[in-house]
Chain A
């Protein structure tokens, strides 16, 4: 059987476009990936204390996808995210402290504590929301794409999804509509191998999400999702196409999650050594370091700064006030 990784390995596309980035941009790329990683690693620890309420789905392992996709975007471009959305939020420029407070359910959280981990949004940043309904985002991204097209300013819209959402009918509808309208939408499928507790090799009937996307009438490519430079290069091609009026395209990024579907998931569906092996071979941070485009001294300094930032965010979130009960019925309507 052909595995997802085989398809990437056979992909001839060079992944060098990202090295055109300036050194300051490369440092920012690493800082963002590291921020996402440490944000999630710290949540993993804090969730175990019981202090964080609800369901949390960690993005650790997939950072190169969020950052590779969002690096060519500006605040005027839109993304629609998923239940595993922390990485997308950070990569699109959401305030990390505000996110942490939101996840702690605090009044000053990015959504006043009313959204939580699965509903973080910042419309001013073009971040149209994490979304707890698998497959609900792509139709929204097409709508944002219609707005981009109507305004004619070369803006684009990105629908993040996974190997789980690629099987939802809503995603099929959105992909077809995007092709029909030639909307500037990029469908990014993060194939992390699992839709909840079920393997993609079982649940994705055709095995190949990029090929399926091509079936809708749009170009699509499969990239190594643990290689920032590969994701970024593919995204540059998709964004250029969309900005120039060439319509939608799709990217399937082969990636992995270092944790379960949600925190507390015993992951009995994964081989015992799988995550350890993937942390060894598919860690985007290691891969970035190995590329040697930024010196280890500089990367070490960024590591220290990121750890300090996350420490401050957690401390601030823990100390932040809770929402007042009087906030319960506000923000339902603008006027009623």
Chain B
């Protein structure tokens, strides 16, 4: 089985789905790049992170559409094309830019099916790169999946590794509902074994990454890798925890989390975002309201501070929740 980076795993999913289904199109700024340049080199970028490489030469400019920097038009065009029968994959280069096309996402795409009485589908995928850790500053580093998780009508995917990213992307493209797919920039180069043949991973089914009775740790995206580091350290002392990666925040696999907490009695949630109205706070509220009897300690929340993401590496390192904070939070719920 080939070792693929998450970047290449998503790229492979796009290639395979575009080959399988002629209704799939890709649009966004620089998804190929080079149009209108003086070098005459098309596919000058293949996506700013290289995720859409090779699509233009293989599928042509009618289906791989470079757009101006016009996020509302990108997402709106994807929505209109979906209503008209295509299955567009729109790229919003950085998740932070969702701010300039929010109306199209939360008033349009999310609500069409409901407002139209169930007589339409809007099978759009919005791919976007998220996450801190690359010194990109306050407007190119946020995760913001919590904002969209709160909106009925959207499905929200937050993969933590290359294998899941491929299966979840293929599911997203085949799914008849609108999906926002958050790709953590720091995970793009991370390699693992990824099957060549297409496969899907169902939404709303968490991955039990590790098993243990001491506590339940729930983590998303890049935080899964940090939680694994923290659990490695604890394992050396004989402390073993369940590590749950929900993979999708909407739908959320509440049952897997509740069943684990029923067994362990202790919960730590790790989330790369500020704490208020976060997915961490949401999961804590679900467990408090539906699994309170199981809890033997207050829920531990490992989040960023309630502050924008700073530029200086010295400050940004302190903003991002890290393995040590996770380890400390587990020790705390264990009463240590």
- Chain A residues proximal to chain B, CB less than 8 Å: 78, 80, 109-115, 119, 121-124, 128-129, 131-133, 136, 138-150, 157, 169-170, 173-174, 176-177, 180-181, 330-336
Q: Is B233 in contact with chain A by the CB < 8 A criterion?
A: no
Which residues from B are CB-within-8-Å of A124?
Answer: 119
Given contacts A122-B119, A181-B65, A332-B114, 6 further A-B contacts (CB under 8 A): A113-B117, A139-B80, A140-B77, A140-B83, A142-B77, A336-B204
Q: Is the beta-carbon distance between A146 and B113 smaller than 8 angstroms? A: no
| B99 CB to nearest A CB, Å | 13
28 sample A-B contacts, Cβ–Cβ < 8 Å, listed by A number: A111-B115, A111-B116, A112-B117, A114-B115, A114-B117, A115-B116, A115-B117, A121-B120, A129-B115, A129-B116, A136-B107, A139-B104, A142-B77, A143-B82, A143-B83, A143-B88, A146-B27, A146-B77, A147-B84, A174-B73, A176-B73, A177-B70, A330-B118, A332-B152, A333-B153, A333-B155, A333-B177, A335-B176
Cα distance, A138 to B82, chains bound together (Å): 15
Give chain A nearest CB distance to B83 CB in angstroms. Answer: 5
Question: B220 to nearest A CB, angstroms?
Answer: 19
Docked Cα-Cα span, A141 to B67, in Å, equals: 15
**Residues 46-70 of chain B, each 1 if its beta carbon lies under 8 Å from chain A, else 0:** 0000000000000000110101101
Chain B residues lying within 8 Å of A147, measured Cβ to Cβ, are: 80-81, 84-86
Judging by beta carbons under 8 Å apart, are A114 and B88 in contact? no
List the A residue with the shortest CB-CB distance to B71. Answer: A173
Q: Closest residue of chain A to B86, judged by CB? A: A147
Cα(A249)–Cα(B121), bound, Å: 28
Of all A-B residue pairs in the complex, the 10 with the closest CB atoms, nearest first, are A139-B76, A143-B80, A331-B118, A140-B80, A111-B117, A112-B117, A147-B84, A143-B77, A173-B73, A143-B81
Instruction: Determine the distance from Cα of A146 to Cα of B67 in the docked complex, in whole angstroms.
Output: 12
A143 x B177 contact (CB < 8 A):
no
Q: Which of B117-133 contact A (CB under 8 A)?
A: 117-121
Cβ-closest chain B residue relative to A119? B115
Contacting pair B81 A144 (CB below 8 A): yes
Report which of A78, A110, A150 forms a contact with B62, defined as CB distance below 8 A. Answer: A150
Q: Which B residue sits closest to A179, measured CB to CB?
A: B68
* A177–B69 alpha-carbon span in the complex (Å): 10
> A146–B27 Cα gap in the complex (Å)?
11
Residues of A within 8 A of B117 (CB): 109-115, 331
Please, which residue of chain B has its CB at the minimum distance from the CB of A140? B80
CA distance A123 to B83 in the complex (A): 7
- B224 lies within 8 A of chain A by Cβ: no
How many residues of B sit at the interface, in one of the four size bands?
35 or more
| Residues of B participating in the A interface, judged by any CB pair closer than 8 Å | 25, 27, 62-63, 65, 67-68, 70, 72-73, 75-86, 88, 103-104, 107-108, 112-121, 152-153, 155, 175-177, 204, 251
Closest residue to B176 on the A side, CB-wise?
A334
Chain A residues lying within 8 Å of B77, measured Cβ to Cβ, are: 139-140, 142-143, 146, 174, 177
Given A119-B116, A173-B72, A334 contacting B121 (CB threshold 8 A): yes
Closest-by-CB residue of B relative to A116 is B115
A146 is contacted by which of B72, B75, B81 (Cβ under 8 Å)? B81
Q: Verify B153–A142 contact, CB threshold 8 A.
A: no
* Contact A150 B153, CB 8 Å, known A123-B83, A142-B76: no
Residue among B27, B63, B81 with the most chain A CB within 10 A? B81
Give CA–CA (A333, B113) in the complex, Å: 7
Contacts of B84 in A (CB 8 A): 78, 128, 143-144, 147-148, 157
Q: Which residue of A lies closest to B80 (CB)?
A: A143
CB atoms of B103 and A170 under 8 A apart: yes
Indicate if the CB atoms of A80 and B113 lie closer than 8 Å: no
Q: How far, in whole Å, are A173 and B73 apart by their CA atoms in the complex?
A: 6
Q: Which residues of B contact A334 (CB under 8 A)?
A: 113, 121, 176-177
Which of A131, A146, A331 is close to B114, meaning CB atoms less than 8 Å apart?
Answer: A331
A124 to B79, CA, bound (A): 16
**B204 — which chain A residues lie within 8 A by C-beta?**
336
> Counting chain A CB atoms within 10 Å of each CB, which of B67, B75, B118 scores highest?
B118
- The listed residue (B78, B107, B152, B175) touching A143 by CB distance below 8 A is B78
- Nearest to B202 among chain A residues (CB) is A335
Candidate in B103, B115, B175 with the most chain A CB atoms within 10 angstroms: B115
| Residues in A whose Cβ lies below 8 Å from that of B83 | 78, 123, 128-129, 140, 143-144
How far is B62's CA from A115's CA once the two chains are assembled, in angstroms? 34
**CB-defined contacts of A146 to chain B, threshold 8 Å:** 25, 27, 65, 77, 80-81, 86
- By a CB distance below 8 angstroms, the chain A residues around B72 are 139, 169-170, 173-174
Are A331 and B73 in contact, with the CB atoms below 8 A?
A: no
Cβ-closest chain A residue relative to B76: A139
**Of the candidates A110, A128, A133, A176, which one forms a contact with B80 in the assembled complex, judged by CB atoms under 8 Å apart?**
A128
